[in-house]
Structure 1
């Protein structure tokens, strides 16, 4: 399977992505992520689409040790970076396109969509 342009871009920037995002958001990214997570009632099975380098997964795991997290991203290198940050038996890292998710309808309790954060 040939890589898409988006996949190639994110595969190439995975090492500097966190620094770039912090710079591009004037340091507000952590505040936004923390506000989002604190406003979320975690339970059961959680889906993080666009996992990237795993910052949301790391923060979710800090908030709740029991929920099962499906971390989905198109970029293999982003997922590898995320897994290096948080490796846990209750986190499944999945390389998939957000438009073609490998889940049955109503099989998840919470959905997160982070295409830009």
Structure 2
């Protein structure tokens, strides 16, 4: 792909937030269906794994930032319906689709900017996100905000896509990312841009090791990550220093 074409797909940081917001607004109605197809139905299992790693106390408080249609929050509530669960996103069309899908009053929906969260410090027992970090302008600031609002001893857990590593499968993974996903996305969602942006932003994203370094740089401890789906998906986690939440 030429630099010119790449610039069309990956927006400059100055316009990235607005571009991403409008893109997710356009595909909100077909977002979950495309995720099921692209992940071969594994996305729900990954949501449950994020919740497991968040290690929430019974009846605890969860913030899922960049929550979209609320998949991770719903997975948490399936395990403990007594949770106080906040689903925060800056794309209102995505949250509207989530409300319509889940019909669950237990989820508190909130418009929020991941780089300036509207919550006080030490508010939540865990902070999770799914496919957020790849889409923000300032990754360090996003992790800084997540660590600020989580209680001492609480977990920050991040699910995202990851650049395909070198190996025998890399050519086949690249064909899937660059050809099959854009075609399927265009046919199902009707949006040419969104499902070209996804594979290109994945291929040019940080490695899990680089993201772990950023998490450590903002002060998170006991960091680790697990790669999934032929190492094209990653779950990272870190713990805020201090006492374990009650």
Q: Which TM class, normalised by the smaller chain length?
A: 0.7 to 0.9
Aligned counterparts of 2:76 and 2:83: Cα–Cα separation in 1: 9
Q: Is the 8 A contact 2:91 2:111 kept in 1?
A: yes
Compare 107-116 and 94-103 and name the one that shifted more.
107-116
* 1:83 to 2:99 alignment: yes
Deviation string for 1:16-67 (max 9, x for gaps)? 1111112222332122112222333223211001111121122111111111
Unmatched runs of 5 consecutive residues or more in structure 2: 1-16, 133-159, 162-246
Aligned counterparts of 1:62 and 1:110: Cα–Cα separation in 2: 16
Aligned residue in 2 for 1:20: 34
Which of 1 and 2 has higher RCO (CA within 8 Å, sep 6+)?
1
Unmatched runs of 5 consecutive residues or more in structure 1: none
Q: How many residues align?
A: 114
* 1:55 to 2:64 alignment: no
Compare 69-78 and 21-30 and name the one that shifted more.
21-30
Larger Rg: 2
Compare 40-49 and 68-77 and name the one that shifted more.
40-49
TM-score, normalised via structure 1 length: 0.85
Aligned counterparts of 1:102 and 1:86: Cα–Cα separation in 2: 24
Compare 59-68 and 29-38 and name the one that shifted more.
29-38
Structure that is richer in helix per residue: 2
Cα RMSD over matched residues?
1.8
Q: Is the 8 A contact 1:54 1:86 kept in 2?
A: no
